[in-house]
Amino acid sequence: MRGLFFFLFSLFCFSAFAQKPMVKAEIDTTNIRIGEQFNLKISVDEIQNVIIPKLQLKGLEIIDSTATDTLKNSLIRKYILTGFDSGAFYIPQQQIFVKNQAYLTDSLLVNVATVAVDTTKVKKFPIKSIKSEPYTFDDFKIYIYIVLAALAIIAFWIYWFVIRKRKEEEEEPTYRALPPYEEAIYRLNELDEKQLWQNNQTKEYYSELTEIVRGYIERELNVPALEKTTDEVLDMLKDFKDADVILTSQETIDKLKSLLREADLVKFAKSKPLAPEIEEDRKDAEDIISNLKPKPIVEEKDKEDGLE
């Protein structure tokens, strides 16, 4: 009975051991030089429900890897590894899952050696001097900005103190004031060219006509004739004539009185003189300007000299 029990137990253990999948990690070399490559192969003797996680390494690097391959009821994955630091590095145990059961591979040791250099066979070169970097815009931009600012200031100075001043001097009026008589005759001719009364602008015509006459009196006799009323202008001329300080006739003063009265009627009473009357007033205005003048001081002195 004991023998039968021992036989069944051994058979069960053997069966359980036989069903355990085998996972294995292999490398084709354990010694490399820096930068050399070697191969790692992980194999599992099972193809159903097998998971090979991402390879975990320390000090070594993966160059390439192949897809999982099936060969004789086994799964195989290959990796190409290398190392760039000298020393001994372990490929740690890798955890493989088979039918949701974790299995571990063996850890593997890889020695990475440096490459010996024979300095006696290496050609020596002299130490090179420091090479200067090429110039860029940033190296000169501060100087460019300073130059541009200086040019802008100079241009502004030239414009403000030279060109602008010269332009103002050129724009200054270069005309000379005409004598009172010449100015009045000139303005009368301008008034004729406007043809105001011919275009039913009689009020504007008389306003400008009397303004010309008053302006002449103001300039010629040095009195504010433009600011005075008609009666004030006539009284002032009467006083001048009585004082014998102007050269004119009573007829000229009467023409002035008639012209100013007519202008007042046109401007304020809306009177509308006929064309012959307007032409006559224009002629009277020119006669007034021609015959109304101040008495020369030189003549007064000559008279005094004659009396002596």
pLDDT in tens, 119-171: 666 566 677 777 777 777 777 788 888 999 999 999 888 888 788 777 766 66
Which of 137-146, 170-179, 263-272 has the largest mean confidence? 263-272
Residue 122 is classified by DSSP as S
The full 3-state SS of 28-75, as one line of letters, equals CCCEEECCCEEEEEEEECCCCCEECCCCCCCCCEEEEECCCEECCCCE
- Choice among 91-100, 125-134, 204-213 with the minimum mean pLDDT: 125-134
Q: Report residue 42: phi and psi, to 5°.
A: -115, 125
Q: Give 211's pLDDT tier (boundaries 50, 70, 90).
A: very high
pLDDT for position 18: 47
pLDDT for position 145: 87
pLDDT for position 58: 82
Question: 217: burial class by Cβ within 10 Å (0-12, 13-18, 19+)?
Answer: buried
Give 101's strand partners.
98
Average pLDDT across the chain, whole number: 82
- Choice among 1-5, 87-91, 96-100 with the minimum mean pLDDT: 1-5
Percent of the chain topping pLDDT 90: 19
Top-confidence residue, 32 or 140: 32
pLDDT for position 15: 45
The one-letter amino acid code at 231 reads: D
pLDDT for position 124: 66
Instruction: Characterize 119-146 residue by residue with b for buried, 16 or more Cβ atoms within 10 angstroms of its Cβ, and e for exposed.
Output: eeeeeeeeeeeeeeeeeeeeeeeeeeee
pLDDT at 173 over 60: no
The one-letter amino acid code at 181 reads: Y
Instruction: Characterize 108-118 residue by residue with b for buried, 16 or more Cβ atoms within 10 angstroms of its Cβ, and e for exposed.
Output: bebebeeeeee
The one-letter amino acid code at 81 reads: L
- Give me the architecture of the 19-115 domain, per CATH: Sandwich (2.60)
Q: Where are the alpha helices (DSSP H) in the chain?
A: 2-19, 137-158, 164-171, 180-194, 202-221, 230-242, 250-268, 275-291, 297-307
SS3 105: coil
Q: Give 237's pLDDT tier (boundaries 50, 70, 90).
A: confident
SS3 185: helix
**What average pLDDT does this structure show over 54-66?**
85
pLDDT at 117 over 90: no
pLDDT at 286 over 80: yes
pLDDT for position 14: 44
Q: Give 193's pLDDT tier (boundaries 50, 70, 90).
A: very high
pLDDT at 39 over 50: yes
pLDDT for position 119: 60
**What average pLDDT does this structure show over 50-74?**
83
- Choice among 4-18, 163-177, 235-249 with the minimum mean pLDDT: 4-18
The one-letter amino acid code at 308 reads: E
pLDDT at 56 over 60: yes
CA pair distance 171, 165, nearest whole angstrom: 10
pLDDT for position 16: 45
CA pair distance 44, 77, nearest whole angstrom: 9
In sequence order, the 6+-apart residues with CB closer than 8 A to the CB of 80 are 37, 38, 39, 40, 62, 63, 64, 65
Closest by CA position to 43, among listed 10, 71, 84, 6? 71
